[in-house]
């Protein structure tokens, strides 16, 4: 058994390794501006999951150059994916999005555009814009789904139903973009069965890619308050890696695994603190995958 890693997918699609540049489109979210709520999702920091992105008021070309300078020490290439990560990156007027994304996608050093958003923020005019952008260069749309358990979705204040997500995936598939679904392992009140049900749901939802994310408990979030009040415990590294291997086993051969863990900003991270040592975490994942004969490699068609 193996999984179809992002690195392998990039080599197949673009002929080389690429690096994602985390950018900030200077938008907000319906969970923050009062439309659905004003506190964000329960786990979301003030940075709107874009804590590694520059400030939103920085001109976009300057953001790109700043992001490139940050990765130059670990990436020797000259082609990048522009990743609009912070908050909800289709939550603006179509004209604003057209100017923002259009300026980025025409750059020679940008070979693909990745847009993090919500399924309830994809009106028809925005879908039409994304379709036109996708004709110029590949566009990925990343959706923060997190869980298929509707009760958990209410607890984390996701703000939309599974049916809304399914409808968005159908529309995005019609315009031919690459859909990446985010899921989180370790959300309070979810057991292993709940988490594997989410993986099964995502595996057959029509998305082409998945990001599997460890739950990070960040300072100044409602989730952190619950954690510090003893309402739940964070996953241990051993628990997470065991769950991760079980998740990978359930994915289709052709589903691209964009992430198998994640980083929480060290200045905000409250738990699990073991996740801050990324090298150790990745080495431990690789060792366990090797033991269980879980390998990454080229797309296999049986």
Span 270-289, pLDDT tens digits:
999 999 999 999 999 999 88
> Global pTM?
0.94
Residue 145 within any structural domain of the chain: yes
Of 23-27, 41-45, 167-171, 217-221, the least confident:
41-45
Span 212-267, pLDDT tens digits:
999 999 999 999 999 999 999 999 999 999 999 999 999 999 999 999 998 888 89
Residue 299 within any structural domain of the chain: no
Residue 302 within any structural domain of the chain: no
Residue 297 within any structural domain of the chain: no
Residue 121 within any structural domain of the chain: yes
Residue 142 within any structural domain of the chain: yes
Q: Which structure tokens are listed for 253?
A: 């051969």
Residue 200 within any structural domain of the chain: yes
Number of domains composing the chain: 1
Mean pLDDT of the chain: 92
Q: What is the 3-state secondary structure (H, E, C) of 65-106?
A: HHHHHHHCCCCCCCCEEEEECCCCCCCCCHHHHHHHHHHHHC
Residue 298 within any structural domain of the chain: no
227's enclosing H/E stretch is helix 222-228
Domain around 15: 2-292
Span 17-39, pLDDT tens digits:
999 999 999 999 999 999 999 98
- CATH label of the domain that carries residue 168: 3.20.20.70
At residue 300, the pLDDT reads: 41
């Amino acid at each position: 058994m193996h999984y179809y890693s992002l690195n392998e997918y990039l080599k197949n699609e673009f002929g080389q390794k690429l690096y994602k540049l985390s950018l900030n489109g200077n938008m907000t979210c319906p969970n923050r501006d009062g439309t659905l709520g004003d506190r964000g999702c329960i786990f979301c920091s003030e940075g709107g999951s874009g804590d590694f992105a520059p400030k939103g008021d920085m001109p976009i070309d300057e953001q790109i150059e700043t992001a490139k300078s940050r990765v130059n020490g670990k990436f020797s290439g000259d082609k990048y994916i522009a990743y609009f990560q912070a908050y909800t990156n289709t939550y603006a007027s179509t004209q604003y999005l057209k100017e923002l994304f259009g300026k980025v996608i025409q750059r020679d050093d940008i070979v693909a555009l990745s847009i993090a958003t919500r399924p309830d923020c994809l009106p028809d005019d925005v879908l039409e814009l994304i379709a036109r952008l996708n004709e110029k260069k590949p566009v990925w749309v990343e959706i923060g789904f997190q869980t298929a358990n509707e009760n958990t979705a209410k607890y984390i204040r996701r703000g939309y139903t599974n049916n809304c997500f399914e409808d968005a995936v159908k529309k995005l598939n019609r315009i031919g973009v690459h859909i990446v679904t985010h899921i989180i392992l370790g959300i309070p009140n979810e057991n292993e069965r709940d988490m594997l049900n989410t993986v099964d749901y995502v595996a057959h939802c029509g998305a082409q890619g998945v990001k599997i994310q460890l739950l990070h408990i960040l300072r100044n979030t409602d989730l952190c308050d619950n954690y510090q009040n003893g309402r739940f415990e964070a996953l241990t590294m051993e628990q997470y890696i065991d769950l991760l291997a079980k998740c990978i086993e359930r994915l289709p051969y052709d589903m691209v695994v964009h992430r198998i863990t994640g980083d929480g900003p060290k200045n905000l991270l409250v738990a699990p603190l073991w996740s801050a040592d990324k090298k150790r975490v990745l080495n431990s994942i690789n060792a366990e995958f090797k033991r269980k004969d879980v390998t990454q490699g080229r797309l296999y068609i049986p």
